[in-house]
Amino acid sequence: MDTPNKETTPGTSPAPRRVKPKLVVDWERCKGCGFCVEFCPKEALDLSGDFNRKGYHPPVVDDAKCVGCNICELICPEFSIFCKDAEGAPARKGKEPKKTHLAEPLLRMDRMPHIWCPGCGIGTTVNCFTVALSQCGIPREKIGLVSGIGCTGRVAGYVNLDSFHTTHGRAIPFATGLALGNPDMKVVVYSGDGDLTAIGGNHFIHAARRNMNLTVILVNNFIYGMTGGQTAPTTPIDAKSSTSPYGASEPPFNLAHLAETCGATYVARWTALHTRQLTRAMQEALNKKGFSFIEIIAPCPTLFLRLNKLGDGLSMMRFFRDNSEIQNGADTRSVAIPYQGKIVLGKFVDKEEPTWLDRMNNQMSKALGTRHVPYGAPKKEGEAKS
């Protein structure tokens, strides 16, 4: 089967001459979305005829066909299918044998199952985020995560980081205070399109303008999910929503273009299907100083797809496969997303600019000379608690 996941991330690709990991399905976590079955490159998975307790058909594995590529593990939004290191496999350098889903060590598993619907793409993006986190080289305690309100806003509650579930639209200004308050930290904002660009639109453009040292991960499902499918600033013209029952008539934001024109120093767009590229983009964004922005197009089966009669989450993932085009470096003016049209993906912007704090410190020392006490230098031991 043809998948767009042709690139591999260094470090996650299977090492040669290894013992093939065993694919394990956590039967009860599965919500039967079918992503793993559809996008397995070896067609090693099929939905079982049996039901789990929730009434879904979890996948069954054909061990003979499985090569342990872990695409299913990365794409599963329920963290229910994963590669486990086989008994007697050679120890990986400096690592414990892998026995659980890759996301588990970075999630609050006592809060599972999560609230996202079957076929929602947010869980998949969280998988990619956890991989990016473990590979970015930043210590976990130095990463903070801030969400607003909405379906994606719930990410803060599930990741096992210093995490903040704030008010609707205000994740970015909260994160601004957190990032400036502790400049040693990398602060990530993880929220939805309505939260970040409607009610939070003012904060989004100003944080980008300031080149605040934040990574903003925006999951765009074209609609307000949590509140029941109302029109968002991203809803394409003609798409229906519960408040646009005859189709939306307002032009939506081209978010990549908005971010770039406002001053973002890293802008990328991927879909929930493009797990490898998305993981790498997240890793790059985490290591970027300044305002980095990743837009992730994800399916909302319960509202956007149902109201528009576009099928389920899997149909949307197939649509991503068939209708997306990778154009790294594309002019962001050309990457607006039409209703049911071509989605341009890629890394559009990656440049270096001084951050707000760099500029502030430079300006002050220019004006004040030696009287300036630079802010953001590493604190002396015990200073903050004295």
Partner 1 sequence: MTRTPAAVQAPLAGFTGADPAGVASGDHFMDGDFACAEGALAAGCRFIAGYPITPSTEVVEHFARRIPTIGGVFIQMEDEIAASIAIQGAVWAGHKSMTVTSGPGFSLMMEHIGLAAMAEVPCVFVDVQRGGPSTGLPTLPGQADVMQARWGSHGDYEIIAICPNSPQESFDFTIDAFNLAEQYRVPVMLMMDECVGHMHEKVTIPRPEDIKIFPRRWTKQAVGSYLPYKPEFDGWIPGMVKAGDGHFFHITGLTHDERGYPAMSVECQESLVRRLVDKIRLNADAICRCEEIGLEDAEIVLIAYGITSRVAYAAMEEARRRGLKVGLLRPIILWPFPERRIRELAEKVNTFVVAELNYGQLSLEVERCAAGKADTILIGHGGGTVHEPEAILEVLLRAAPDAIGRQGPRKRMSPLRAAPDAIDRQGPRKRMSPLRAAGKKR
**Contact flag: residue 167 with partner 1 (CB under 8 A):** yes
**Contact flag: residue 206 with partner 1 (CB under 8 A):** yes
- Angle at the Cα of 55 (from 52 to 58), degrees rounded to 5? 45
| Half-sphere exposure of residue 189: CA atoms within 13 angstroms, side-chain side | 39
Binding mask 56-95 for partner 1 (x = CB under 8 A): ----------------------------------------
Position among 127, 163, 241, 254 found at the interface with partner 1 (CB under 8 A): 163
3-state secondary structure of 385: coil
Position among 157, 247, 311, 354 found at the interface with partner 1 (CB under 8 A): 157
* Binding region for partner 1 (CB under 8 A) out of 94-102, 160-168, 274-282, 319-327: 160-168
Binding mask 100-119 for partner 1 (x = CB under 8 A): --------x--x--------
Looking at residues 171 to 190 of the shown chain, list those that interact with partner 1 (rule: CB under 8 A): 172-182, 184-185
Give the total of residues touching partner 1 (CB under 8 A): 46
Computed on alpha carbons and rounded to an integer, the radius of gyration of the chain in Å comes to 21
**Shortest Å distance, C-beta 364 to partner 1:** 4
Nearer to partner 1, 124 or 163 (CB): 163
Give the pair of three-digit tokens for residue 310: 């576009």
Residue 317: Cβ within 10 Å count: 25
In the chain, % helix, strand, coil (3-state, to 5) comes to 30, 15, 50
* Binding region for partner 1 (CB under 8 A) out of 54-62, 281-289, 311-319, 365-373: 365-373
**Contact flag: residue 329 with partner 1 (CB under 8 A):** no
**Contact flag: residue 371 with partner 1 (CB under 8 A):** yes
CB within 8 Å of 40: residues ≥ 6 apart:
1, 71, 72
Separation in Å, CA 273 to CA 74, 138, 193, 316 = 10, 26, 18, 9
> 223, 232 in Cβ contact below 8 A?
yes
Alpha-helix residue ranges (DSSP H) falling in the chain: 35-39, 71-75, 122-135, 155-158, 171-181, 193-194, 201-210, 255-262, 275-286, 306-307, 313-323, 356-368
Nearer to partner 1, 56 or 174 (CB): 174
Position among 22, 140, 257, 318 found at the interface with partner 1 (CB under 8 A): 140
Footprint on this chain of partner 1 (rule: CB under 8 A)? 108, 111, 140-142, 144, 146, 156-157, 160-167, 170, 172-182, 184-185, 202-203, 206, 356, 360, 364, 367-368, 371-375, 384-385
